[in-house]
Amino acid sequence: IRTNLIYVPSAALETVSVIDGRTNRVRTTIPFKGRPSEIAINERTNRIYVTNTVKDTVSVINGNTQAVIATIKVGSNPVIPPAINTITNRIYVANNLSRFLSVIDGRTNKLLKNVQLGRLQSEVVVNPRTNRIYVISAQVASAGKLFMINGSTNKIISTMVITDASSIF
């Protein structure tokens, strides 16, 4: 947002287009092998995180150079937008078809840990002030759980059964 650049994934073209918000023109197109799906941006570090649902990875783009600087293996089907704690510089990737949440260190671009959760994760949200991560494993029409995770230890601190859910804020 500070750079006024918009990142648009195209699964069909296997690219991420970078659009200049001032001119509304494509500045560059970044090629991907697989299917770029969801994007999260850390405005503090100017890093862009792109999930790849075919390769089960997250690619890190340097917002200054528009180059992919790292690709990190995560769980199966990372089709949910990643959540970023801008204070700790950790990225949380819910893996829809795996039983865990992937935690990435944004400083080293390495996988720190996989936190064991339930299947069919549908959303992940971070509260940077409390360093708590919330993950829903429910779908719109079926019961599931809400997991509350301590961001310092990456351990589950509480679990709630929920009847159904579509989103959390």
Per residue of the chain (169 residues), what is the pLDDT tens digit?
Answer: 578 999 999 988 999 999 999 999 999 999 988 899 999 999 999 999 999 999 999 999 999 999 999 999 999 999 889 999 999 999 999 988 888 899 999 999 999 999 998 777 888 999 999 999 999 886 556 677 889 999 999 999 999 887 765 556 5
Residue 139 burial class via C-beta count within 10 angstroms: exposed 0-12, middle 13-18, buried 19 and up? middle
**Coil, helix or strand for 148?**
strand
Kindly report the pTM of this predicted structure.
Answer: 0.90
Residue where the block lists tokens 């994760």: 121
For 59, the token pair is 């690619």
